[in-house]
Structure 1
Amino acid sequence: MINKPYLSSFKAYLKLERSLSANSIEAYLNDVQKLFQYFNSIDKDPPVQEISVADLKLFISWINELGMLPATQARVVSGIKSFFSFLLLEQIIKEDPSALLETPRLSRKLPDVLNIEEINGLIAAIDASKPEGMRNKAILEVLYSCGLRVTELINLRISNVFEAAEFIKVIGKGNKERIVPIGQSALRYIKIYLEESRVHVPIQKGQEDFIFLNRRGTALSRISVFTLIKDLALKSGLKKSISPHTFRHSFATHLIEGGADLRAVQEMLGHSSITTTEIYTHLDRDYLKGIITEFHPRT
């Protein structure tokens, strides 16, 4: 197909100029491949210079007919827009046909949030007598104390923990570094884990600086953290559907409820746009509404 030579250049652009992760790059390339699949389905093979906004609107109708959810459609449109922005940047095309393409409207689903009693219940469900018990306590403490993404957690390094200053250095999306405060409780459990449990793990070469290791001495996988959270929810009798990201949501919500500045929360979460952080103000409004309903004499 005539468009395929541009894919390798687009891939290099996403990796080198936008510093995206391998997973994100693969998602963008898959989105563009869907556009190629659409043209193939209607026996067309236009050069990228000849693709019009009308073609792209028909493509959106096509993926809608395939039964894609609005969120998936929105992601595909985002990938297509990035592809044509790249082509325009490289002067391969003179006009961007995706500029007027509308993204499907999405309803913003508020994430599940844990209260402090539920978080304490999950931590209490950990069997501290097992070799991995103290590691798992440290994991939950760090997730809640710092609001990390699961990938940021498993990539956390010993050399990036500054105990005296009570900060950690986190490598977030796009390899962007940020400094995040860490609480005394999380620091204490990290120290206990490092000094009393991790020292008994046969650490593999090249894995020495990762904080959280599995029993084979290598860095934890994402799936192992998801499994840990699901198992603890079951043991503690928690009925909510939770994941490691739930601790991130809880971290942000509790900060907003406590009066934290939205910009500060944005910085700690590593959100590139404050509009992403603003979802937690909606959670906060629900909290405040509940307080008024419960305590105001005229409600």
Structure 2
Amino acid sequence: MTKKSPTARPYVDRIPLVPVGPLTPAVLAECSSWLAGQGYSPGSAASIVNLLARLSLWMQANDARVDQIGEALLDRFVASEHSRAVVAATVTTCMGTMRRFLIAAGYLVTSESELCAVTEAQAAVTAWRAWMRDERGLLETTIEARCYYGAGLVDAVATADGTVQWSRLDAATVNVYVAERGHAYGVVTRAHIVDAVRCLLRWALSTGRISRDLTAGVLKPPGTRRTLPRGVGVEQVAALLNVCDPATAIGARDRALVTMLVRLGLRAGEAARLTLDDIDWAAGYLKISGKGREHTLPIPVDVGEALEAWLRVRPAALDRGVFVRMKAPRRMMTPSGISGIIARLSGLAGIDRIYAHRLRHTAAMDVLAGGGTLTEARELLGHVYTVTTMAYAKVDLTSLRALTVPFGQVP
């Protein structure tokens, strides 16, 4: 008999080779098909199905049926798995994907009491959303951003059961929240947080939830004074392109993205929302959607070549987004994902970290440096008013030198 070494790695309790329980075999097979459709690799799919088989075994031991699957049951399952001497790694890495499958397949149900339970804090945020939409006429993207940055202030003055104590809301509490919420962000995002909080306070005042205007007491984040737009140099753009390997799918995607941002000046959100239907190859135009508006831009030769090279190797995805994730689930990228690619490439290129908006500034500055007008730059960037584009005139050194009076001469 072989004696086990005291230093041998412990193994988790194995599930039966033939899965048992209420989820076999139909639900497990359905999960395998769903994962394949989402683009998961066979190895990743096997780990997720294995976790689902663990859930099925646990449900059999606890006399649970398929129609009883809910958040409470999944919490009990996770707690049971974490109580073992050795916890399966899939409980941590695959639980979110398994939950998404159960929701998509209609197995993860919520009790009627959970559906109807809305706390006072949640109701307040919902009312604030309606006020911004109906009274202020804000776009949905703006509403989402302000709720993302400002809704936490409601939770800061709410009790454990969700009751909001508006009387606790004062300037000191607001400033503590603004400082903590903006700690991990830069100057621009901190200004957005202040705007969201002020909007929330104006709504609370107009609806009688607070009795005095607190917006004047909200401190401004340091360094929010408007600065000159900053682009990147030709050498930095070349460095970004050099680290994109066109022989790989991810390299072709990143190269097409960098080229498009530098030449067309797209916002990260505009690049993320770009779909295959927005490309008119016959006419040579792109339809750009952003800030609630649409405009068309011509496709330069270098942009068209890089875009074609990427689309030839673009993997099958769940939607028709031009720039898609390379990992499952393969779908349209988010604006933060687009900007994250540029940040990653700048790190690989060994240059200062930059993000997608710096490349947008570069496109506008290149137009003016090449002799273009502010109107042409405005059309490229999709600005509604020329005054918005006038910020780039401050960095057009060639034109500014022509206006400079030589020393000692009176105009």
TM-score for both structures, normalised by structure 2? 0.53
Task: For 2:364, give the aligned amino acid.
Answer: A
Any conservation in 1 of the 2:150–2:200 contact (CA below 8 Å)? Answer: no
Q: Does 1:211 align with 2:319?
A: no
Equivalent residue pairs, number: 275
What aligned pairs does 1:175-254 form with structure 2 within 5 A after superposition? Answer: 175-194=292-311, 196-198=312-314, 201=315, 203-205=316-318, 207=319, 209-215=320-326, 216=328, 217-222=330-335, 224-237=337-350, 239-254=351-366
Do the aligned partners of 1:204 and 1:218 also contact (CA within 8 Å) in 2?
yes
Q: Could you say if the C-alpha distance between residues 113 and 26 of structure 1 is closer, same or farther in structure 2, counting changes exceeding 3 Å?
A: closer
1:20 aligns with 2:134: no
Deviations 1:217-241 (A, max 9, x none): 432344554454344334444x232
1:170 aligns with 2:283: no
1:146 maps to which residue?
264
Secondary structure in structure 2 of the residue aligned to 1:278 = helix
Give the one of 249, 252, 258 matched to 2:370: 258
Unaligned segments of structure 1, at least 5 residues: none
State the Cα deviation string for residues 76-121 of structure 1 (Å, max 9, x = none): 4422443466578xx746x994787787372223444222343233
Offset at 1:213?
2.8
Asked whether the 8 Å contact 1:2–1:45 carries over to 2, the reply is: no
Instruction: Give the Cα–Cα distance (whole angstroms) in 2 for the partners of residues 65 and 159 of structure 1.
Output: 43
Provide structure 2 residue ranges, at least 5 long, that are not aligned to the other structure. 1-118
Q: Which has the higher contact order (CA 8 A, sep 6+)?
A: 1
> Identity over the aligned pairs, expressed in percent?
19
Aligned alpha-carbon RMSD (Å) = 4.3
User: Which region of structure 1 is more displaced relative to structure 2, 242-251 or 98-107?
Assistant: 98-107
Cα distance in structure 2, aligned partners of 1:182 and 1:263: 19
Contact 1:229–1:244 (CA under 8 A) maintained in structure 2: yes
Q: For 1:146 and 1:38, locate their aligned partners in 2 and report how far apart those are by CA, in whole Å.
A: 45
Paired letter, 1:282: K
Q: Is the 8 A contact 1:145 1:182 kept in 2?
A: no
**TM-score, normalised by the number of residues in structure 1:** 0.69
Cα displacement (A) at 1:152? 1.6
> Is structure 2 residue 150 aligned with structure 1 residue 34?
no
How far apart in 2 are the matches of 1:282 and 1:103?
Answer: 29
The CA distance in 1 between the partners of 2:376 and 2:217, in whole Å, is 34
Residue pair 1:15, 1:25 contacting (<8 A) in 2 also: no
Judge conservation of contact 1:166–1:181 (CA < 8 Å) in 2. Answer: yes
CA distance in 2, matches of 1:45, 1:151: 36
